[in-house]
Amino acid sequence: MDMVRENHKKAGLFDNFSSLIRKCIFSVLSIGPVPSHIAFIMDGNRRYAKKKNLLEKDGYRAGFSVLINVLRYCYELGMKQITVYAFSIDNFKRRPEEVQSLMELMQEKIDELIAEESIVNRLGIRIYFRGNLKLLSEPVRSSVEMAMAKTAGNSKAVLSVCVAYTSTDEIARAVQESCEEKQDEIREQDASNTGNYALEQLIGVADIDRHMYMAGVPDPDVIIRTSGGTRLSNFLLWQSAHCLLYSPRALWPEISFWHLVLAIIYFQRNYFYVKEKKKQA
């Protein structure tokens, strides 16, 4: 029993020391510009499992643990918006047993996230799930809705989880809903034979923005795709016109505090270039 207490004490001291080191590093980084919104393409869970001779499901479990750590780091740095690409619509094309396993794991981890003592509640993080949620199984969809309801009172930061999501689906849906919203006006213009020019005037970027899954969320400052990939894989295509892409070679479950530090330094080095491009747009 004394040994257990001693180990807990050492672990607590190590955590406190690590937290102090992070605060010191973040205070230095905060002298320069810091992203207010950072997005992650969490690539490499299956490859990590294969690399470590684990079951695929355990690779995703390791990835979830990393997500919790990354949430803490982003919060400590003062970021207000964190977005993660959790499950693409294209992922439904995988083997049925793999999809089922991922859905069960997703439900399990959502329930963990909304536990009273969970990190999202301790840090005051609100969770939104964004995507075509009708494609999810009923149990998972219920967990998703419960998570959003239970964290609705949290206001210190926002975690957007893109699930059953692709940008093409998001854009197509937004355009369709924009057309439906302006249906009466479109019919009036058609009746007056003013044609496509009038349609372009009726539906603009702001209308489409309002119907996006990511409506109301500032565009990301930087997207981090792990595993060294340089593709967006149908993620936030509409929102990333003036966004940096950072691609560390580490697989998602291997991502550490230092990878985030390097991503922020990369953002700071390119900040004024991106700012100038935004002005020109």
Q: Which residues are catalytic?
A: 43
Strand order in the sheet with 222-225: 125-130, 157-165, 81-88, 37-41, 222-225, 244-246
Exposure string for 258-277, b = 16+ CB within 10 A, e = fewer: ebbbebbebbeeebeebeee
Token pair, residue 76, equals 């400590």
- State the Cα–Cα distance between residues 220 and 223, nearest whole angstrom: 7
- State the Cα–Cα distance between residues 16 and 104, nearest whole angstrom: 34
**Number of helices and strands in the chain (H, E):** 11, 6
- State the Cα–Cα distance between residues 213 and 177, nearest whole angstrom: 12
Computed over its alpha carbons, how large is the radius of gyration of the chain? 21
In degrees, rounded to 5, the angle at the alpha carbon of residue 79 between the alpha carbons of residues 77 and 83 is 130
Handedness of CA 72, 73, 79, 84 (dihedral sign): negative
Burial grade of 206 (CB within 10 A; 0-12, 13-18, 19 or more): exposed
